[in-house]
């Protein structure tokens, strides 16, 4: 087989790249290790920046998102027995976030690709990339070979793409946090119309949602926490202890339908390209979920890569391809800082560190009392425009 761009990974990055390239007349084949059912059911982040929503609308794949997504114009920071709303409509007019599950974005992109006969292969085995430093790279999988002009590694942190880059080429930056998130999905109506980020001495908690009937919650727990140590009764008791800290707020409880523990870490690989291989999304960088940036960074990468590849096929120039990594990394590091900042602002690091707790309280007071500080949070949370890093 031959195609112009071979894409490894059928997550949001790979599927959106394939769709955007199709709109620009560039052919691609998408290869995915997992089954279609698995990738469509895999629950991940659900907060879409303004620019991500705009990109999906422009690409013609947002009908269901606009119909079912929950548009939010603010978030609440809850600490010290009070809630403080960060009002996006006032601080960054015209920009907001939309709550719409990542798996729903994946479903929409798969449906769009299949509607025009795009080539996507699920459950492929023994995927390997070859000759990535040459002008004739190719992919092998099973007993087949796919020749390409370019390769896009969109296969996540544990995928094969980044590991195919020769040793010594990449500089890797990483940080592990001394806690994890216990996340649950519950069949219960949200107790708040907007997301609540709660800082409590017991640990961080997040109240989110997926639909008018389904809520999403997170608890800060130990890095080696085991799910069997968290029966339903303990989960709800701890959520209540951390969220029912303001007068008049009662947390609704219900059936827990899914749960999992997510490690908290930051990672960046530089450069995000080698030869004819270009990394996008989690294959190149990951962030702690506190800032809701993972999926949105993948979309930003894909926008840059689409334009670079389309320009190459239009006029043969490689300046955008040559500058892909530098362009993406300016935004990646801004998101890394924001995610680190939100994480350190809201989590308990050491219960005996009174000095650290007072610093956190001072910073929270500043963010909730200073328009300039609140604007910094708001514009980073809803996503910087794409004409900025």
* 355 is an active site residue: no
Catalytic position from the list 285, 288, 289, 347: 289
- Residue 383 and residue 52 in contact, taking contact as beta carbons nearer than 8 Å: yes
Name which of 118, 133, 386, 105 is nearest 278 in CA terms.
133
Catalytic position from the list 19, 207, 293, 347: 293
Name which of 83, 384, 135 is nearest 245 in CA terms.
83
* 278 is an active site residue: no
Surface-to-core class of residue 240, CB atoms within 10 Å of its CB (0-12 exposed, 13-18 middle, 19+ buried): middle
* 381 is an active site residue: yes
* 293 is an active site residue: yes
Surface-to-core class of residue 307, CB atoms within 10 Å of its CB (0-12 exposed, 13-18 middle, 19+ buried): middle
Catalytic position from the list 197, 218, 274, 278: 197
Catalytic position from the list 12, 19, 22, 72: 72
* 107 is an active site residue: no
The full length of the chain comes to 389
Residues with Cβ within 8 Å of 333's Cβ and at least 6 positions away in sequence, in order, are 268, 389
For 331, what's the count of Cα atoms within 13 Å in the CB-facing half-sphere? 28
Q: Which residues are catalytic?
A: 72, 197, 289, 293, 381
């Amino acid at each position: 087989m031959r195609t112009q761009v071979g894409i490894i990974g059928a997550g949001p990055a790979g599927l959106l790249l394939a769709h955007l390239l199709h709109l620009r007349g560039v052919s691609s084949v998408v290869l995915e290790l997992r089954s279609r059912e698995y990738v469509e059911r895999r629950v991940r982040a659900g907060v879409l920046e303004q620019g991500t929503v705009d990109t999906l609308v422009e690409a013609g794949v947002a009908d269901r998102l606009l119909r079912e997504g929950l548009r939010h114009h603010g978030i609440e920071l809850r600490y010290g027995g009070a809630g403080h709303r960060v009002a996006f409509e006032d601080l960054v007019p015209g920009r907001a976030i939309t709550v719409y599950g990542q798996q729903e974005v994946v479903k929409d992109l798969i449906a769009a690709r299949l509607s025009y006969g795009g080539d996507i292969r699920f459950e492929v085995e023994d995927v390997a990339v070859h000759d990535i430093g040459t002008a004739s790279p190719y992919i092998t999988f099973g007993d087949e070979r796919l020749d390409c002009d370019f390769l896009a590694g969109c296969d996540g942190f544990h995928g094969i793409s980044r590991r195919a880059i020769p040793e010594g080429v990449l500089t890797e930056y990483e940080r592990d946090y001394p806690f994890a998130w216990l996340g649950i999905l519950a069949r219960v109506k949200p107790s708040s119309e907007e997301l609540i980020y709660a800082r409590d001495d017991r640990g961080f908690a997040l109240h989110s949602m997926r639909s008018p009937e389904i809520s999403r919650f997170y608890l800060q727990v130990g890095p080696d926490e085991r799910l069997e140590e968290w029966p339903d009764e303990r989960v709800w008791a701890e959520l209540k202890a951390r969220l029912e800290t303001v007068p008049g707020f009662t947390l609704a409880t219900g059936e827990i339908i899914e749960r999992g523990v997510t490690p908290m870490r930051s990672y960046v690989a530089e450069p995000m390209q080698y030869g004819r291989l270009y990394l996008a999304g989690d294959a190149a960088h990951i962030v702690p979920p506190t800032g809701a940036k993972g999926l949105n960074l993948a979309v930003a990468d894909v926008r840059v890569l689409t334009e670079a590849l389309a320009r190459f096929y239009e006029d043969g120039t490689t300046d955008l391809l040559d500058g892909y990594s530098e362009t993406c990394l300016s935004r990646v590091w801004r998101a890394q800082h924001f995610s680190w900042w939100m994480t350190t602002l809201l989590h308990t690091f050491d219960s005996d560190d009174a000095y650290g707790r007072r610093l956190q309280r001072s910073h929270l007071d500043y963010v909730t009392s200073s328009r300039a500080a609140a604007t910094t949070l708001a514009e980073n949370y809803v996503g910087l425009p794409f004409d900025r890093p």
